[in-house]
Copies of this chain bind each other. A is one copy, B any other.
């Protein structure tokens, strides 16, 4: 984390990504907009891009560690990361997975609260917090999207709570798979779900042991609901029973 890729996010970077940083969420007002939408206007994206540094991380890279000084927030342009904390007992608790158009960098008293590590190669915009708060001051309309996105993350944390609250391993796994299905449904067919994380990561997210995740996977497969093709790919066979499982909290 010593140095940045010395490349500004705007202008000439247009070849790889036509737009600047992008934030997606369900807005909290706007009745009827129940699908996630783009929160930043083109002008806002360009403005942010002028203050952002583009960073590219290989897979399995630590972006920052819990407890380190929190000088930046990140907006993912492409790729997947996990945000986790190691507990005194030695257990690891994954608080969230973040995908393209997500914002991460949660801080408390100037320090990051979780460690963030990439699961896949990641391209992200790095925004200096000081510069960002100054931008907020100069452009009042810019802060609302960030508030909106933070509320979105909060809702997802509450949903995560509900997942972990279930007692059956199969149901929890189904809910994670549905989360991934929703996340990737734009890019792929509805039935094919990428699972970028390891089973151990799944276990740490679901509050289960690795073995329980394996057994739940076999259970889903044996019942003909989901098929696991390779390490990072699942296919929903019976969407009806799958939904039933994932909804039956």
Contact = CB atoms under 8 A, between A and B. Distances in A.
Interface of A: 26-34, 69-70, 85, 87-89, 91, 93, 95, 106-111, 113-114, 129-130, 133, 136-138, 140-141, 143-144, 146-147, 150-151, 153-155, 157-158, 160-162, 164-165, 207, 247-249
Pick the most buried of A29, A30, A111, A138: most chain B CB atoms within 10 A of its CB. A29
A9 to B, nearest CB: 22
Nearest to A31: B110
Nearest to A112: B28
Contacts of A27: 109
Contacts of A248: 88-89
Contacts of A247: 88
B110 A30 contact: yes
Contact of A28 (B85, B107, B154, B164): B107
A31 B154 contact: no
Pick the most buried of A31, A109, A138: most chain B CB atoms within 10 A of its CB. A109
B113 A155 contact: yes
A7 to B, nearest CB: 26
A110 B144 contact: no
Pick the most buried of A89, A91, A153, A161: most chain B CB atoms within 10 A of its CB. A161
Contacts of A160: 161
B249 A110 contact: no
10 contacts: A28-B70, A28-B106, A29-B70, A29-B133, A30-B110, A88-B249, A106-B155, A157-B161, A161-B161, A161-B164
